[in-house]
Structure 1
Amino acid sequence: MASKTAVRTLVTAVKRPSPSTSAAACRCQRVATAQSSRQFSDAARPSPLSSNTKRYRPSISPHSRLVVKQTPPAARTIFIQTEDTPNADALKFRPNHDILPDGFPSSFLEYLSPRSTLAPPHPSPLAAQLLNVDGVTSVFYGKDYITVTKDSSTPWAHVKPEVFSLISETVTSGQPIVNTVENKTGEDGQGSSSSEAEATYAPEDEEVVGMIQELLETRIRPAIQEDGGDIEFRGFHEGQVMLKLRGACRTCDSSTVTLKNGIESMLMHYIEEVKGVQQVMDQEEEVAMKEFAKFEEKLRAQKGADAAPSTVGKGTLDTAEA
């Protein structure tokens, strides 16, 4: 009995800890330990997406923006082909560019003096520059070629480089080769096929003239244009066809042969009304021919009758006497 009473007294004296009290004490202790080890800062906490440099969101910086560069237009290239003509003093220059624009009222233009390059209706800055080249006497424009004629005393080695340079510069720059201005005087400053509208012939010969013009256009003109020239129909009188040669054919020594053996023979073969062909010269050309003939005669008088001719070619005194 005494022992049971002693045990009961001991149990009462030593009480077991309450479960709720011990759990609260443990939680307080863990919180205190965690607070003592943490350090707080006012700095903003990094986002998990941006805490690593590899996780940055893509953005376009000013230096990495796509810049579209405008490439300048490619330089225009030009190829100029030269062709010989039956006239040793005339060369045909054919650039890969039209000389006369589409719809031009004439099939050719011819400039015989610096004044003609400024006169209406078709002045040409390029022709003015070409006539300023030493030795150049005339400039002829076809549809897609330029015929340059020089005097016989100037070699082509001195003329060709400047002609090449002027044509290349004009074509590559895009400047117009031929301008059109109002013609108030009514006189053509340049030789052109527009003068064919002023051809003279009798009204009863209109049918014959039509056949002549058709033959000139389809058979004769293309062949002459290949030689760097052209031809004009000036009239038809008493069976004679009046024609004028242009370009390289105008000063060619074989122009008379071309008229008689080539053109005249063809016209007489196809058109029985044609009896012959005559070459027409402008007033300025006739005056120049007469003055040149006087000059030749004076030289021969000074040198003597047995002296060799100073010049040889069409229109000279020696050719006229032959």
Structure 2
Amino acid sequence: MASTILPRSAMRSLSRATPSIPSIPSTVPRIAIRCLHQKTSPIMASRLQHRPSVSHWNQRIPNTVAGLGRRTLFIQTETTPNPDALKFNPNERVLPESIASPFLEYLTPRSTLAPPHPSPLAAKLLNIDGVTSVFFGVDYITVTKDNATPWAHVKPEVFAIITESMHSGQTIVNTVEDKAGESGQGGTELDSLAYDENDSEVIGMIKELLETRVRPAIQEDGGDIEFRGFEDGKVLLKLRGACRTCDSSTVTLKNGIESMLMHYIEEVKSVEQVLDQEEEVSLAEFARFEEKLRQQKGPNAAPSTVGKGSLDTVE
């Protein structure tokens, strides 16, 4: 295809015929420059009237990971019917889920080190002057003291030790192999109120009533209950925690548990508490002391406290 070559005269005439593009007035740049650099009044001040400057973007991102990892600890204390026992309720589980028993009880410093469930926390608590026993429920801790030590001297230290142990995440209860067959804690066996297919119909009914009607109330008071057997119409029970040394434990057994079981199960004739050897010795010593006081004050003197052999005991 041949190219067309225009003469120079035709090119000049074509350029004259094309309309010229109007130029931008020179006043516009001067106005824009004057608007950018002139001083602004406070009323008309605006960020749009100032020259933009370059700044580094430094937005802070909230540390949500650290916030999520922070533990919140709240421990509530409750009084119990036993004036020498206090219940501490942390907002987390106390006993590990691997332990089948719903409670562990430590009565001596040796029991806190003995298998199968030694406890560093119980060892520290029993090391406090005046503390006589430590009871671990599933989600609460009951501390019992002697009647000669006021709570004002014991409670702050107990509260500080429990708070430090819970907040640091230390193991509350350990599990070690019991090679010598030594059981240093109460409640290390299976739950005595758990269902057993070998139980008779009467024992099954007794366990169900104790589990649904009695145990929640006793746990609310900082203790627990064990079923020790059913013989000749007698239901053998063992109170733990705050209820173990409570003065009203006999009234609880007789007027509360015994009346309810006899009402629903006609085979039940009575309810008795099973005592450990140490408790039998202490009760015997207490009975001798009561008898000695009675002889000194006279035959018509009333017992000083509620206990076995006293006027308030229901036989």
- 5+ long unaligned stretches in structure 2: 1-53
Write out per-residue CA displacement over residues 141-190 of structure 1, whole angstroms, 9 at most, x where no aligned residue. Answer: 11100011111121111111111100000001100111111112223211
8 Å Cα contact 1:120/1:183 also seen in 2: yes
Question: Residue type matched to 2:307 in 1?
Answer: K
SS of residue in 1 equivalent to 2:184: coil
1:273-288 equivalence runs, <5 A: 273-288=267-282
1:1-322 equivalence runs, <5 A: 75-192=70-187, 194=189, 206-299=200-293, 301=295, 311-315=304-308
Write out per-residue CA displacement over residues 278-306 of structure 1, whole angstroms, 9 at most, x where no aligned residue. Answer: 11101121112112323444455566667
Distance 1:321 1:295, change over 3 A: farther
Distance 1:255 1:197, change over 3 A: closer
Distance 1:99 1:276, change over 3 A: same
Question: Residue type matched to 2:130 in 1?
Answer: G
Question: Residue type matched to 1:109 in 2?
Answer: L
Residue 92 of structure 1: CA displacement?
0.8
Q: Give the whole-Å Cα distance in 1 for the aligned partners of 2:190 and 2:288.
A: 30
Distance 1:252 1:167, change over 3 A: same
Distance 1:157 1:317, change over 3 A: same
Distance 1:318 1:119, change over 3 A: farther
SS of residue in 2 equivalent to 1:243: strand
Q: Give the whole-Å Cα distance in 2 for the aligned partners of 1:258 and 1:112.
A: 22
- 5+ long unaligned stretches in structure 1: 1-57
Question: Residue type matched to 2:283 in 1?
Answer: M
C-alpha RMSD over aligned residues:
3.2
Identity of aligned residues (%): 68
Write out per-residue CA displacement over residues 211-259 of structure 1, whole angstroms, 9 at most, x where no aligned residue. Answer: 1111111221111111111100001100100001111111111111111
Distance 1:196 1:291, change over 3 A: farther
> Higher helix fraction: Structure 1 or Structure 2?
1
Write out per-residue CA displacement over residues 82-108 of structure 1, whole angstroms, 9 at most, x where no aligned residue. Answer: 111111111110011110122421011
8 Å Cα contact 1:119/1:189 also seen in 2: yes
8 Å Cα contact 1:196/1:234 also seen in 2: no
TM-score by length of 2: 0.72
Higher Cα Rg: structure 1 or 2?
1
TM-score by length of 1: 0.70
8 Å Cα contact 2:227/2:236 also seen in 1: yes
Residue 120 of structure 1: CA displacement?
0.8
8 Å Cα contact 2:116/2:176 also seen in 1: yes
SS of residue in 1 equivalent to 2:189: helix
